[in-house]
Amino acid sequence: MQLAMQLARNNIDHGTGGPFGAAVFDIATHQLIAVGVNVVLSSHCSMAHAEMMAISMAQQQQANFDLAAAGQALELVSSCEPCAMCFGAIPWSGIKHVVCGARDADARAIGFDEGPKMHDWQQALGQRGITVQTDICRQQGIDVLQHYAKRNGVIYNSGDNI
């Protein structure tokens, strides 16, 4: 989680994107497979969320769209709970475990629109064999989000910039 938080903070401090970071690890060995940061603004791509970037990079590194295909159990560690889009991508990615820092409500508190994600999203992933841990270093995640807000980071998809 510390890596995901540092990626998010570095992304803010370098002006390269939004306040979100993510990484994919091998659950058994803790080996880092891939990292991702939010590059929505710089890439001009609404899908370039940290989780999506980390999953995409892991799939490229593994040369497979299904991260579970090789029998390796991988986890996605993210500085914040997934938005509706990232939640939707997780089951198809092959990720077996998700670890989250800040909550959806914390991102919404600074103005982000996290989309219409179901209330029981953790249970929905669980029904697909994907375990979830939340509130890991939550306050640190909140601090990263607030750091972005204090630096007047662009709150995209908020309705204000439509």
* Residues in contact with 28: Cβ distance below 8 Å, sequence separation at least 6, in sequence order: 72, 73
3-state DSSP assignment of residue 33? strand
- Active-site hit among 51, 75, 81, 114: 51
51 is catalytic: yes
- Terminal alpha carbon distance of the chain: 33
**Could you tell me if 72 and 54 are in contact, meaning their C-beta atoms sit under 8 angstroms apart?**
no
What the block records as the tokens of 72 is: 């390796």
So which residues are the catalytic ones? 51
